[in-house]
Amino acid sequence: MLVSENQRPTELTSLTASGTSRDVIKYSFPQRYAESYVGIMECFLDVVEGIASLLWKCHAQSLVMHLVAHVIDS
Say what the pLDDT of residue 26 is.
84
pTM > 0.75: yes or no: no
Say what the pLDDT of residue 20 is.
92
Separation CA 67–CA 36 (nearest Å) = 10
Say what the pLDDT of residue 57 is.
63
Say what the pLDDT of residue 31 is.
80
Tens digits of residue pLDDT in 14-58: 999 999 999 888 887 778 778 878 887 887 788 788 877 665 666
Q: Where are the domains of the chain?
A: 27-73
Q: How far does Cα 48 stand from its chain's mean position? A: 24
Separation CA 12–CA 57 (nearest Å) = 37
Q: How many CB atoms lie within 10 A of CB 23?
A: 13
